[in-house]
Structure 1
Amino acid sequence: MHDVIVIGGGVIGLSIARELAGRKAVLVLDRGATGEGTSWAAAGMLSPLSEADDQDPFFQLCRASHDSYRKFIGELEDETGIDCGYSGSGLLCLACSEESANALRRRCEWQRKAGFAVENISGDEVRRMEPLITADILTALFMPAESSVAPRRLVNALRESCLKRGVEIRTGARVQGISKNAVRTDGLTFEAPGIVVASGVWSPELAGLDPPIPVYPRKGQILSLCMPPGAFRHMIRWHHSYFVPRNNGDLIVGATDEDVGFDRSVTPAGIGKLLADAQAISSHVGSYPIMETWTGLRPATQDGLPVIGPSAIPGVFYATAHYRNGVLLAPITASIIADLVSNGRSRVAIEPYAPSRFGNSGTDA
């Protein structure tokens, strides 16, 4: 019998399993192959400052996780020998309109007052930092502490680390339902006093959840371009689009945000918009080949917050609905869930993410 069953083998589930391994006997159940869902599709931006307009609790959670990332990655790489593609080159937020410029100035003001590293720079300074940018930039923010990681490499490292630490991983295990101390798959029942639901967009499929999780998918289309290494030196964000350069020169261009259910198709409209937005910022990118196009399904809730904490069923915990922040929040989510499973309480305030905010089903667990 295992001590803990983790449902979901993406970056969240594997991070939790890794954190618990050594203290607990852990089983991971994944409906497919580990890390081939939302985690595989992510861009890997670790950038809590770039979209934050105040220091609300969710920003504090993201920032705390970001601050732990360099240590998290260093330990993973030392343990597994797998390069996770971590880059600490910083991020540029661009404003091409007066409205965007005013928003960036307000963001810069509160972040500076709060003591964060952020610089307000001119369009000329942007072009000195990124010579391939051709758009007319009114103003920009440079956030030198923002970073990124290559999610596919990260998942590979997490899987290898879990195996080294004695975690059992079963792939192709479609979980049908849960109850106290038990998880049912297609013909098998696994028992454990601790159960963690980390199955992202698939979480609502699980029978017996209390409370039910109102998670729904938001499709993101994304692409990569083959560019020379160093062509872009920093992550770049503007409007709802972004560039994430990889160390090998690949440039990630993202992303759409579509409410289309579980449709994972790559569409001309979606990819066309990404390419048009990219070329509006840098006319040069249109000359480079497209390496890959893909989609991911982000697990979202109506209030935009993740679901982290104990369910109404004793021993069952939720770690899901991280939307666009699953990679960023993996270290702190793992720490929170490990604390809850081991000690029954979290050192981090998790009230805003409590499953109880959705009520309960009234079922007798």
Structure 2
Amino acid sequence: MSTFTVIGGGIAGASIAYHLAKTGNTVTVFDRSDNGQATSASAGIICPWVSQRRNKKWYRLVQEGARYYPDFIQELEETTKQSTGYIRSGAICLFKDDRIQQLAYERISAKQEASPEMGEVRKLTKAEVKEMHPHLTTAYPAVFVEGGGQISGDSLLSALKEGIRLHGGKWIQQDVKPEDGEGTVIYTAGAWASECYQLPLVRHQRAELLHLKLENEYHKNETPVVMGLGPMYIVGTDTKQFAIGTTHEDTTDFTVAPSEENQQYLHNEATRYFPETNIQDQFMAVGLRPFTRDSLPYIGWTKDHVFAVNGLGSSGLTAAPVIGREVAAYLTDKETVLNLDDYAYF
């Protein structure tokens, strides 16, 4: 067995460490717990099949990520006896008119044969939308994707930490430089990675979500994810409330104070989707999300012989568990399902 040091305790680093530890390797995770970690401010939507991105390498990654999720979560929850907040209650995808709804239905349905885990895909009537999501507007045509779901980033991270511990790994809350790590060093520092490495094309942005409460407290336990117009989405939370997001602001700093302007923008968007009830803002969540121009994460060696994973962007919670499985296999000379050379574009 081998020795590994993981620097950065977001979902990617934690998943890699978990998969390495459970196969008997010596693993230590170092994490500074910086404010603004993307994991804590993510909606956690698992529904990659509806994306219109044309990057095939990216799609292979998130497709395999969604396929892996049910088995991964079952194993992790059975091992740790902790809930991850994983729910597969489907996704309601909204479109601005009937023509676009039909085109989207055809595009999404065409992926079913290669991704049976996405389940049924069908167009919804207004009555069906109201039945699934009583507060949601019926102003927009909708498509339902049965396999869509969501995960609580904080709960998943907590379970991974416990899984690492149960498999003999260590989690240390302190800073460490890559050159000081023992064995093979895996650098998963997210937005803060530039402190040590300038990975190609990887930058970061501020993403903000508004957590809100509806005056009418009726809220089904497993409300489907809502994929709104443009970049908007709405998810139920474990507090029986909702979160709507997200904003995207390219930045070079690490400020995580919420923006009043963005809060007002997201509140106005919420009134668009929940037009028949009063909305009470609860709080804003702010995360610093590493991303690349073409949405393709970097997974590979750096010139200093450190293995880096970064730039997962908005699909981080979809892709990170399977990245953990694949990187652990790759670094221990086992067969991988994905070709990791596709993501090592130095």
Amino acid at match of 1:257: H
After superposition, where does 1:306-345 map in structure 2 within 5 Å? 306-314=297-305, 316-343=306-333
**2:77 aligns to what?**
77
**2:26 aligns to what?**
25
Residue 83 of structure 1 and its aligned partner are, at CA, apart by: 1.3
* Partner residue of 1:300 out of 291, 298, 304: 291
Listed one character per residue, the Cα deviations across residues 140-172 of structure 1 (whole Å, up to 9, x for unaligned) are 110000111111111111111111212122213
Residue 248 of structure 1 and its aligned partner are, at CA, apart by: 4.1
**2:270 aligns to what?**
278
Residue 214 of structure 1 and its aligned partner are, at CA, apart by: 3.4
Residue 353 of structure 1 and its aligned partner are, at CA, apart by: 1.2
**2:210 aligns to what?**
223
Distance 1:113 1:328 in 2: 20
**1:154 aligns to what?**
156
After superposition, where does 1:1-365 map in structure 2 within 5 Å? 3-21=3-21, 22-32=23-33, 37-52=37-52, 56-97=56-97, 100-101=100-101, 103-111=103-111, 117-137=120-140, 139-175=141-177, 178=178, 183=179, 189-192=180-183, 194-206=184-196, 212-227=199-214, 228=217, 229-230=219-220, 233-239=223-229, 240-262=231-253, 263-284=255-276, 287-314=278-305, 316-343=306-333, 346-354=336-344, 357-358=345-346
Residue 173 of structure 1 and its aligned partner are, at CA, apart by: 0.9
Listed one character per residue, the Cα deviations across residues 238-294 of structure 1 (whole Å, up to 9, x for unaligned) are 121111113541212111111133332211221111111111111145x24323211
Distance 2:288 2:97 in 1: 31
Residue 311 of structure 1 and its aligned partner are, at CA, apart by: 3.1
Does structure 1 conserve the Cα–Cα contact (< 8 Å) formed by 2:49 and 2:108? no
**1:363 aligns to what?**
none
Does structure 2 conserve the Cα–Cα contact (< 8 Å) formed by 1:199 and 1:320? yes
**Could you say if the C-alpha distance between residues 213 and 57 of structure 1 is closer, same or farther in structure 2, counting changes exceeding 3 Å?**
closer
Residue 40 of structure 1 and its aligned partner are, at CA, apart by: 1.0
Does structure 1 conserve the Cα–Cα contact (< 8 Å) formed by 2:105 and 2:121? no
Distance 1:221 1:324 in 2: 12
Listed one character per residue, the Cα deviations across residues 191-219 of structure 1 (whole Å, up to 9, x for unaligned) are 32x11111111112115x7xx44321111
Does structure 1 conserve the Cα–Cα contact (< 8 Å) formed by 2:64 and 2:322? yes
Q: Which moved more, 1:95-104 or 1:335-344?
A: 95-104
Residue 36 of structure 1 and its aligned partner are, at CA, apart by: 6.4
5+ long unaligned stretches in structure 1: 184-188, 359-365
**Could you say if the C-alpha distance between residues 95 and 213 of structure 1 is closer, same or farther in structure 2, counting changes exceeding 3 Å?**
same
Does structure 1 conserve the Cα–Cα contact (< 8 Å) formed by 2:271 and 2:279? no
- The percentage of counterpart residues that share the same residue type is 24
Distance 1:166 1:222 in 2: 36
TM-score by length of 1: 0.84
Listed one character per residue, the Cα deviations across residues 163-184 of structure 1 (whole Å, up to 9, x for unaligned) are 1212122213153xx3xxxx2x
Distance 1:166 1:11 in 2: 18
What is the number of equivalent residue pairs in this alignment?
A: 336
Listed one character per residue, the Cα deviations across residues 23-42 of structure 1 (whole Å, up to 9, x for unaligned) are 31111111236x96111111
**Could you say if the C-alpha distance between residues 257 and 18 of structure 1 is closer, same or farther in structure 2, counting changes exceeding 3 Å?**
same
Amino acid at match of 1:28: V
Amino acid at match of 1:322: L
Tell me which of the two structures has the higher relative contact order, counting C-alpha pairs closer than 8 angstroms and 6 or more residues apart. Answer: 2
Distance 1:44 1:253 in 2: 12
**Could you say if the C-alpha distance between residues 89 and 30 of structure 1 is closer, same or farther in structure 2, counting changes exceeding 3 Å?**
same
Listed one character per residue, the Cα deviations across residues 105-159 of structure 1 (whole Å, up to 9, x for unaligned) are 452353356565311223443233323123511x211000011111111111111
Amino acid at match of 2:83: D
Distance 1:269 1:244 in 2: 21
Does structure 1 conserve the Cα–Cα contact (< 8 Å) formed by 2:87 and 2:222? no
Does structure 1 conserve the Cα–Cα contact (< 8 Å) formed by 2:300 and 2:340? yes
Residue 313 of structure 1 and its aligned partner are, at CA, apart by: 4.0
- Report the secondary structure of 2:211's partner residue: strand
- Report the secondary structure of 1:19's partner residue: helix
Amino acid at match of 1:119: R
Distance 1:99 1:271 in 2: 32
Does structure 1 conserve the Cα–Cα contact (< 8 Å) formed by 2:121 and 2:144? yes
Does structure 2 conserve the Cα–Cα contact (< 8 Å) formed by 1:132 and 1:231? no
Q: Which moved more, 1:12-21 or 1:66-75?
A: 66-75
Amino acid at match of 1:250: Q
**Could you say if the C-alpha distance between residues 279 and 297 of structure 1 is closer, same or farther in structure 2, counting changes exceeding 3 Å?**
same
